[in-house]
Homo-oligomer: A and B are copies of this chain.
């Protein structure tokens, strides 16, 4: 099919949502752990993790303030800390379930069955037994005025990952660990390696 801008605008709203979201391709599924001023923990799946830089280590997240992600945004802005957690493909149903619109006084950890874990004197909750756990500090909120989305910029405070999946050159072998990948609003995958390639030269 070949669709121009006008034809895209004319699509059924639900069709367009699934079409454009899935068209954006594969992305890291990340469970964002946060906590409210009242001590209420929260866990939400995001598929918008962005690598912004390695020195200092900065990651971004796109947030839609009108969505179920609004609690996470509020917690990050008020508490200044959050966690990023990658889980196994085997946990895809639990991970997806964190996107349900639970009431504000309810913890998704309990509801979906991930164990909440605190360590490193860090205020935000981690997912116990996650393949990767990253402690993040909120740095900056950038409003994308074109459509009201928000880029949350955070700095990496701590990384917990098993030695066995970190190669001698620093590469983290997430595929070997079976880390969950997502596409669109509801599709989940694991990966099969094609290979790593040397630095490209002309």
Task: Write the residues of chain A forming the contact surface with B, with a CB cutoff of 8 angstroms.
Answer: 1-5, 8-9, 11, 13-28, 30, 47-60, 62, 86, 89, 92-93, 96-103, 106, 111, 120, 132, 134, 139-140, 142, 144, 146-147, 149, 151, 153, 155-163, 166-167, 169-172, 174-175, 179-181, 183-202
Which among A51, A132, A151 has the greatest number of chain B C-beta atoms within 10 A?
Answer: A51
The answer to whether B161 touches A23 (Cβ under 8 A) is: yes
Could you tell me the distance in whole angstroms from the C-beta of A110 to the nearest C-beta in chain B? 12
State the number of copies, please.
2
The 8 Å CB contact of A181, one of B14, B17, B24, B26, is: B26
The answer to whether A169 touches B20 (Cβ under 8 A) is: no
The 9 lowest CB-CB distance pairs between A and B, nearest first, are A25-B28, A19-B170, A24-B51, A18-B170, A20-B54, A100-B200, A15-B170, A189-B191, A53-B147
The 8 Å CB contact of A52, one of B25, B147, B171, is: B147
Using CB atoms, name the residue of chain B closest to A19: B170
Q: Which residues of B contact A23 (CB under 8 A)?
A: 132, 134, 159, 161, 172
